[in-house]
Structure 1
Amino acid sequence: MFISKEQREKIKLLNSLLGMNHRSKPFDFNNTEDLIEAVELVTAEFVDMVQYWGKISDLNSSFDESIEHFYPANWFGISQSGTTNDEDIDNAILAINKAEDALRVLLDRAEIKCNEIWKYLFTSKQNEVIRHFIEEETLNLIDIQLLYKILDNEIVEIVIEMDYDGNIQNSTRNFAKALVGRFK
């Protein structure tokens, strides 16, 4: 969310080389458009990370089941000695576990940012930005203390339960809708 001088230069170069328009300046949270964009990017990053981590976790579980069915003696060896005694299978297990762990680190980092920006949004009282994401008639349902509790304890579940299509704006809109749904 905060862009160093070195990153800013790389982004400008990327934009010029590929004709892209990635943001290369810091966000001004007093500017409505900047805050909306920041909320969208932070929320969508978190939503994406939950999706990716979920997929790799499902892959890990499915792969374990495949080993159990197709290589039962090797699978049993995992519980006995921590290895299948098959280098190829062990390498695949290790790679999947490393990928799952790495994505969990990125997920945790994105979760902190998402939690913080949504708390900031509601404590800043920037109503125009809040109304951009949440319908006016549902705003009165939101209790700030309960919002904090939901963000602290249910944020991953909100993403797991919501519709996902990989679109930044849709991810944020669906997250906001699912978040407000916890108050109904």
Structure 2
Amino acid sequence: MRRLPVGVMRSPGQGSMEAEQERLLVERAQNDPLAFAALYEVYADRVYNYIYQRTGNRHDAEDLTARTFVKAFAHLEGYVFRGIPFSAWLYRIAHNAVANWHRDRSRRQVVSLDALAAHAEDGDHPEDVTQSREEQRALLKAIRRLPAERQQLLILKFSDGLKNAEIARIMGRTEGAIKSLYHRTLLALRRDFQAHRMD
């Protein structure tokens, strides 16, 4: 499975598939199980990255990605396009797999958002690099203190580069609700980050 290197973010909309193309791939896979491989090729990296950001563990992310696709394959006949794209349906399966993983381990959800930490360029002064790394760690801690739903929103927006409409379908919300949640999340993140930097 090809994965984005940790730290690589997609630009908004990158990796998105036109609805008609997606619908045709799904129909082919429903009629020919071997055609499911094309859906896997399109979505495997995105699903893996989504799960990895939620678990922070490569081994578990690979296992949960496999489970997600096995479940999608097993239930593909039941998928009917009703305005909700296949990708949203697939992300819902991945989301449920991650939720079960956390529940089964009875631990607090921790998101590995190291992908948001930018690497210092060669030639930076050691003091600047140290300060930058401290700020990155503080930001990641602030993100991890957010409720799971807000962490999920940030992962889908910045790591997967999804648009608000796609995020809304995945999270079962309206696009307006996602915009509002995003705005509130950024405000809360800024307040938390600044408060803890003062400590």
Task: Kindly indicate whether structure 1 or structure 2 has the higher relative contact order, using CA contacts under 8 Å at least 6 residues apart.
Answer: 2
Greater helix proportion: 1
Name the TM-score, length of structure 2 as normaliser. 0.32
Larger radius of gyration: 1
TM-score, normalised with respect to structure 1: 0.34
